[in-house]
Chains A and B, each alone.
Chain A
Amino acid sequence: MFSTSVLPIHILDATKTYPGGVEALRGVSLECAAGSVTALVGRSGCGKTTLLNLCGAMDFPTTGEVRVSGQDTSKLDDAGLTHLRRNKIGFVFQFFQLLPSLTALENVELPLLLAGAKNTEAKARERLGWVGLDDKCESLPYQLSGGQMQRVAIARAMVHDPAILVADEPTGNLDTASGDVVLKLIRRAADELGAAVVFATHSAEAAAIADIRVRMRDGRMESA
């Protein structure tokens, strides 16, 4: 098998207590391999978003160990985390995905620009093509449908070939048809681009595309 150090996501007995005293995670462990898709399901407030934030190097655990792309996030400072996110992680959310003032292409290009990459426009174009929106490059977000916006968001999340794709209820706000398109893209991100995908969802249909389904309750995992 893989040695643990190269696993894109490796979480061991992590807990997270928010400043107010809410224990959002009470000891979770999770391993995601490259090219795999993991779905997090469970009631509202069970800790899905919190766990995704740990996977995405957005936050540290209170106790336990979180390794993202082999790096212990607790040992990184803000700059280190930023660097990690920039190079290894892509994010997709339910709402407010795109910067309303930038065109679709510019939105996709942004992570590359922020990372100081070269050839940004060509790469962004290619990724937009990958989600099937070559013709929407110059559109502003308000000129796109919800499903299209989400596809742009996925293109943006994958534009820098991240090792990890983190998606928080990516279909939560979409009708079934658009949701299906988005789920297919998520699957392809793992299959074609080799990312380790973790996503949270409330829908069983969505969870069905995953290789691994994790059910959570009150900050704990019920089944692996």
Chain B
Amino acid sequence: MKLFRRLILRPLRRDLMRTLLTLIAIALGVAVVIAIDLAGDAAAGSFESSMTTLVGRVDYEITANAGVDETVLAKLSGLPVDARFAAVIEQPVVVEGPTSSHTSTVLYGIDVIATGTGLSSGQESGDLETSAVVSSELAERFHWKKGDSITLRGREQSADFQIQAIAPNQNTGWIGIDIGAAQKLLDFYGKVQRIEVFVGPGEDGAQVEKLIRATVPPSWEIETPGARSEENRRMLRAFRWNLRILSYISLLVGAFLIYNSIAVSVVRRRTEIGILRALGTSSRGVLLIFLGEATMLGVVGSLLGILLGRGLAAGIVGMISDTVNALFTTSTPGALALSPLSVAAALLTGTTVAFFSALIPAREAARIAPAEAMRRAVVEHQARLHTGRDLLIAFTLALASYGLCQVGPIEGRPIAGYAATLLAVAAAAMIAPAFVSSLIGALRGFLKRFLGPEGLVAGRSLVASLSRTSVVVTALATAVAMMVAVGVMVGSFRETVQVWLNAQLSADIYMRAQGQARAGIFAPLASPVQGLVERTPGVDSIDVLRALEIHYEGLRATLAGARTDILQRSNTFRFLKGDAREIMASLPGRDRAIVTEPFTEKHHVGVGDVLKIPLGSGVAALTVAGVYYDYSNDRGMILVDESTLLKYLPGQPVNDIAVYVKQGFDRVKVRRDIDDRLRDYPVLIAPNEFLRAEAVKVFDRTFAVTYALEGVAILVAMLGAANSLLALVLDRRREIGLIRYLGAARGQVRRMILTEAGLLGFLAGSLGLALGMALSLVLIYVINKQSFGWTIQFHPPFALLGSALLLVWIFTILAGVYPAQFAAGLEPAEVVHEE
């Protein structure tokens, strides 16, 4: 214990600044990993929470594409089992505000009698029709109290309800009313979203399930609510994996730092090691000292990181759940739950990373022969270079990385792509020493001429401590590369999406029902709307979209019907292959469909394949006529002609209307006109520019988390740069003193260290840019393609990248300010004679 204190704690205290910087770096790395995991978990959400609150524990859910036929309820109730069956409607609904401010939320229509919910308790059945339960979130948002009256608006009419109860601890908005009232309000008869099954105590669940299966059509699905959340998780898997991998990069950068920090410690304590060895410490003992130091840093850093991560998670859960809802699936963010397990995992991860990062320098320390350490080694920095060997390894790694890029996804995950990324980083790390020495060599004349003696000494000392410099450069370059790669990917994606949007949004005015703009929820427009719009003067033609969420091979997708003749005229779609005109012309009146690129990637179907989709009472067999580019969401979409959809689902309501304005009419005037006509309906009307801007906004918000992650990785790298520069200064105290004896002013010493910082930044920037460009290709063509199925055109955002790199460079120089100040403050008379 005493030894531990003297040999591990004391040096850590002595180098307080280094210790602190390293701790912060580990803490940040761990924090990011924790935060992404926690926030991702929470955003993936608790999919059953609101239903459980309303009706209690559900055992099974019966669902079908395009809704469940209500008549089956009677058959189910006749089954000889102890189970209750309750129909549920889940639809968007508009709550009328005091003025014309409407809010949309989710309406649950539930069978009050069958479920025995709190709605009916103590109430007379006459009140049932007008009773409502609201979630606490909604109640708080609008200051509703028990007994208040609210007005809900359906497709055709409105109705008043009295709040009978407020469901506590809800973090989303919803309203529950009796199913009869809901059907009346929404004009939604005959079909329900699902049937909840409650199995009686003592009854065999499997038996119940078997009987239900025998009763309902074979295409219907019977799942446990858990299976539903499981499916959501599966949909989010790729997304979360990518975020997670990004979050590991900070940890990776942190690992370089720990390596560096321990290497510094080894160099600084060389003499001490020699003495310890001479006094009889075994080389194992020396190894343990340094591993102990790293482990200490790892444990303390991870603990800090866990606390920090919990806070960070709260900050980003909103951003992540926005993305989830916009692109993947409707979900309710659950509570952030920091389980003991994840705490333990984080602690283990941080400590393990610290331990293994320290292994190489610690082993080096253990190999120091007692005599060698005691000798005054003038050339202790002289790196043993194995340039040829290193470059060969780098080449092999790069080749392997390229090879991995050719491998397809494994279980829908681009595992090989991730591995390729890692190998590419490793290759860059192997190149780093040769890169640093040759680039500084090339800059030699320049440095001396333009930066004078500061430049000369700065360049030389970086090369002199090459092994250390290379590690810092690699760490910083990894962070920069990640920034560049993600920047190029996102920039390319953004450009691609914008080009796509311009083609996609070819109509002049768009409208949809007020309601949640979330993946998988399609609010119906009131039935008179279409006619009113069509009859507005100046309207040339309209396209109507009817969309619904379906299950296809266990994954959710969107099935939609549209007027393909109009879409073809406006040249809306771009197909991967084939002639757009021919493909579109083949759709009307036939069981043919076009599908999005993500859909084909997920289900491995191509042109000519037949999709069998249970719809209503039958099964639609749709032949894939073409695959088109689409970036609206990840779930995949099947588009058929209006006539085809209505053939299978007569009466399917309209969700979106796109209006083409006649030549010669003022679009703004036409829009005002439509606005006027639809004043009484909860419809969102937007011109095409607005939608484009909105789409780009959603896009940018989606990548906000990514940028935040990059920021942290860069920050960690900056800490690393500061730490290493400080180490370089501490290491070269005597040299700095000597230079002062030779007539260097404090300012010159300061400039020298800042020049080193600038050089480090420049080296890391150029290596990082090269690596990042390579990684961006992996991201775009391998990882993104395999995860989400989108084809992204390569469009590097040069201006943005340039300024980001410049910023990083400036920050690196700023990271040198403290070390430079420290160096300038050294008393030469003291340090030169110090030993």
Are A and B a genuine interacting pair, yes or no?
yes
Report A's interface with B, CB cutoff 8 A.
Answer: 49, 53, 56, 58-59, 78-79, 82-83, 85-87, 89, 91, 93, 95-97, 99-102, 106, 110-111, 113-116, 141-142, 156, 160
- Whether the Cβ atoms of A99 and B378 lie closer than 8 Å is no
Given contacts A53-B829, A99-B738, contact A82 B743 (CB under 8 A): yes
In the complex, what's the smallest C-beta–C-beta distance from B459 to chain A, in angstroms? 9
Which 5 pairs of residues, A with B, have the shortest CB-CB distance? A86-B743, A113-B453, A101-B464, A101-B460, A142-B379
A56 to B829 CA separation, bound complex (whole angstroms): 10
Is B382 among interface residues, defined by CB-CB distance under 8 A?
Answer: yes
In the complex, what's the smallest C-beta–C-beta distance from A166 to chain B, in angstroms? 9
A91 to B379 CA separation, bound complex (whole angstroms): 22
- Besides the contacts A59-B829, A101-B381, A101-B461, what 18 more A-B pairs have beta carbons closer than 8 Å? A49-B833, A82-B740, A82-B744, A89-B743, A93-B741, A96-B734, A96-B735, A97-B738, A99-B739, A100-B378, A106-B456, A111-B743, A113-B453, A114-B739, A114-B742, A115-B743, A116-B452, A160-B743
Report B's interface with A, CB cutoff 8 A.
Answer: 376, 378-379, 381-382, 448, 452-453, 456-457, 460-461, 463-464, 734-735, 738-746, 748, 828-829, 832-833, 835
A222 to B530 CA separation, bound complex (whole angstroms): 114
| A142 touches which of B378, B463, B746 (Cβ 8 Å) | B378
A99 to B460 CA separation, bound complex (whole angstroms): 10
- Whether the Cβ atoms of B744 and A114 lie closer than 8 Å is yes
| A114 touches which of B376, B463, B743 (Cβ 8 Å) | B743
In the complex, what's the smallest C-beta–C-beta distance from B200 to chain A, in angstroms? 83
A58 to B382 CA separation, bound complex (whole angstroms): 30
Give B742's nearest chain A residue, CB to CB: A111
A91 to B833 CA separation, bound complex (whole angstroms): 13
A89 to B744 CA separation, bound complex (whole angstroms): 12
A114 to B740 CA separation, bound complex (whole angstroms): 10
- Whether the Cβ atoms of B741 and A58 lie closer than 8 Å is yes
A113 to B829 CA separation, bound complex (whole angstroms): 22
In the complex, what's the smallest C-beta–C-beta distance from A45 to chain B, in angstroms? 12
Which residues of A sit under 8 angstroms from B742, Cβ to Cβ? 85, 91, 110-111, 114, 156
Which residues of A sit under 8 angstroms from B464, Cβ to Cβ? 100-101
A111 to B745 CA separation, bound complex (whole angstroms): 11
A116 to B382 CA separation, bound complex (whole angstroms): 29
Which residues of A sit under 8 angstroms from B378, Cβ to Cβ? 96, 100, 141-142
- Whether the Cβ atoms of B456 and A58 lie closer than 8 Å is no
- Whether the Cβ atoms of A101 and B829 lie closer than 8 Å is no
Which residues of B sit under 8 angstroms from A53, Cβ to Cβ? 829
Which residues of B sit under 8 angstroms from A115, Cβ to Cβ? 743
- Whether the Cβ atoms of B457 and A110 lie closer than 8 Å is yes
- Whether the Cβ atoms of A114 and B741 lie closer than 8 Å is no
A82 to B453 CA separation, bound complex (whole angstroms): 15
Which residues of A sit under 8 angstroms from B734, Cβ to Cβ? 96
Which residues of A sit under 8 angstroms from B738, Cβ to Cβ? 93, 96-97, 99
A100 to B379 CA separation, bound complex (whole angstroms): 7
- Whether the Cβ atoms of A58 and B829 lie closer than 8 Å is yes
- Whether the Cβ atoms of B746 and A102 lie closer than 8 Å is no
| B746 touches which of A82, A83, A95, A110 (Cβ 8 Å) | A82
A46 to B743 CA separation, bound complex (whole angstroms): 27
A156 to B739 CA separation, bound complex (whole angstroms): 11
Given contacts A101-B457, A106-B456, contact A85 B741 (CB under 8 A): yes
Q: Which of A89, A100, A142 has the most CB of B within 10 A?
A: A100
Q: Which of B381, B461, B738 has the most CB of A within 10 A?
A: B738
